[in-house]
Amino acid sequence: MAVNVQTPPDSMYRSTEGLGVWEHKGKVAAVGIGVSPTARRWDESPETSVGAWTILAIRNAMEDAGVSPEEVDGIVLTPDTSTGVSWPKDRPIPESFVETFNLTDDPLDGIVKLSIEWILKNMPELTNIKFAMHAPTCMSNAIVVGAQAVGDGMTQTCLVVRGWHNLAGRYYVGQGAAGMDTIAGPAGITSGHGVPACGTTAMMFQEYCHKYGKNHDMMANFVITEKRNGLLLPEGYWAQHRPENLTVEDYLAARWIAKPANLYDNDLPICVSAAFVFTTAERAKDMKQKPVYILNHTRTTPKHRGAVQTLDDWQEAADETGRKLYEGAGIKNTDLSFENMYDGFTEFHQFHLEGLRFAGVGRGEALDFYQTDISLEGPNPVSPSGGNAGGGRTRFWLHYDSIQQLQGRAGARQIRKKAEIGVSGAFFPDFNYSTIWSATPD
């Protein structure tokens, strides 16, 4: 019988302040993680398609958790797998892909997008799925939905899944409307000026620097720290394919994409998939891995009224996210052992960090904080995952690392202080899904 794939209702999200402590605080746990290999671009073989690698990631996650496929009764998937390059119009699907997999009605499913239907058609071992949701845009969304679903009893053992493809071509450059001499819809107002993907972030960063008397050079230590941490992530793209150290000189000499955002302030689109296994805290007690408990999750959505956000919009939203996270988890900023908020683009990060008041850092103070010891060895580890900058564009290394840190199995990336509570979330300061993770349920 076909599974009914649902869309998460608003009631599954914790979007406002004043909700109190999350009703399922400490009652949901991450117990398994799995990833695929990485590649810069798809080589068009079926074995490396986003569909194939997502199957691999799911199998790795189940093995990591020590759960059998028939024990899994739920799946939350982010169906978007795009990294900014479209499948060429009228280009046929590779015959080898058609011959290898069971297709859905959409011939691009499993290549440049992914549905739960495609996964279930190609993973016959998942015989017991009763709950299925597509959580768009970001694995951070799927994590929030998966946590709430397990807490609400909609599923006992749930897969949380995200895959990425990357085709030949430049990131958004000349793609779709960008390659035309006309432009329709709201994009006529917001995109006609030729702002690249990092442009809005660079605008906010410029305004931030102007207001607080900071400059782009002050980002160097943060970006270098992220690259270093990323090279200690064996699952990441840079560690696997381009183990290159970044120096201050490299960073400062990099070409501008949208000044004040340079090449290293942007992330590298890659092919990779990840899957996590969530279950109830009760069940997690006896499982293979040390459980990582979810203390709270939040959603923050844009409220701006203009063509682009303002600095005020982002700072107010980041503050709101911080307050909601702490309220629902029943913790304070000083309880965080580390933070793994989003970095792709790097100039997002200081807004998240200040909104959380991580290490007591307030508005306008993050770039000064970046000049202190923010390493894995130091008292205030920042982005120990290396984020998108250090591991490639996924929006999930931050969560993956948070789980590993709290299980004590982050290897060379393990922070030296005791990892007790961490936070991760993506993406924009005013549009994000964030989670508080803990080594203990309370």
Partner 1 sequence: MPKQSPIPGDIDKPFWDACNREVLVVQNCKSCDRMQHPPKEKCGGCSSSDNLEWREMSGKGTISTYIVVHDTPVTILQAEQPFNVAVVKLDEDPGITMLSHLPGTAVDAVPIGAKVQVEFETTPATGQKVPEWRVVG
256 binds partner 1 (CB under 8 A): yes
Which residue from 9, 105, 184, 442 is in contact with partner 1, where contact means CB under 8 A? 184
CA–chain centroid gap for 297, Å, is 14
Of 216 and 297, which has the nearer Cβ to partner 1? Answer: 216
Instruction: Please state the closest distance from residue 12 (CB atom) to partner 1, in A.
Output: 20
Instruction: Please state the closest distance from residue 85 (CB atom) to partner 1, in A.
Output: 11
Backbone Cα Rg of the chain: 21
Instruction: Please state the closest distance from residue 260 (CB atom) to partner 1, in A.
Output: 7
**Do residues 38 and 271 touch, judged by C-beta distance below 8 A?**
yes
Of 26 and 260, which has the nearer Cβ to partner 1? Answer: 260
10 binds partner 1 (CB under 8 A): no
Span of 123-131, 200-208, 288-296, 406-414 interacting with partner 1 by CB under 8 A? 200-208
Which residue from 178, 248, 252, 412 is in contact with partner 1, where contact means CB under 8 A? 178
Size of the residue set binding partner 1 (CB under 8 A):
48
The backbone region for 240, taken as left when phi is positive above 0, alpha when psi lies in -120 to 50, beta otherwise, is alpha
169 binds partner 1 (CB under 8 A): no
Span of 9-17, 29-37, 206-214, 405-413 interacting with partner 1 by CB under 8 A? 206-214
Q: How far apart are CA 265 and CA 391, in angstroms?
A: 13
255 binds partner 1 (CB under 8 A): yes
172 binds partner 1 (CB under 8 A): yes
DSSP three-state, residue 191: coil
Beta-carbon count within 10 A of 177 CB: 13
Lay out the sheet containing 157-164: strands in order across.
5-6, 131-134, 74-78, 157-164, 272-280, 28-35, 292-300, 431-438, 421-428, 338-341
213 binds partner 1 (CB under 8 A): no
Of 96 and 256, which has the nearer Cβ to partner 1? Answer: 256
55 binds partner 1 (CB under 8 A): no
CA–chain centroid gap for 58, Å, is 17
- In this structure, what DSSP letter does residue 157 have? E
92 binds partner 1 (CB under 8 A): no
Q: How far apart are CA 14 and CA 102, in angstroms?
A: 37
**Do residues 232 and 411 touch, judged by C-beta distance below 8 A?**
yes
Which residue from 183, 218, 254, 287 is in contact with partner 1, where contact means CB under 8 A? 183
86 binds partner 1 (CB under 8 A): no
**Do residues 117 and 104 touch, judged by C-beta distance below 8 A?**
yes
179 binds partner 1 (CB under 8 A): yes
Which residue from 40, 59, 241, 304 is in contact with partner 1, where contact means CB under 8 A? 304
Of 138 and 202, which has the nearer Cβ to partner 1? Answer: 202
Place of tokens 């590649």: 39
Which residue from 311, 318, 341, 382 is in contact with partner 1, where contact means CB under 8 A? 311
108 binds partner 1 (CB under 8 A): no
204 binds partner 1 (CB under 8 A): yes
Nearest to 356 by CA among 329, 379, 393, 376: 329
Span of 46-54, 67-75, 87-95, 306-314 interacting with partner 1 by CB under 8 A? 306-314
CB-based contacts of 273: which residues, under 8 Å, 6+ apart? 35, 36, 50, 53, 54, 56, 57, 161, 162, 163, 164
Which residues make up the interface to partner 1 (CB under 8 A)? 171-175, 177-186, 188-197, 199, 202-204, 206-207, 210, 255-261, 303-311
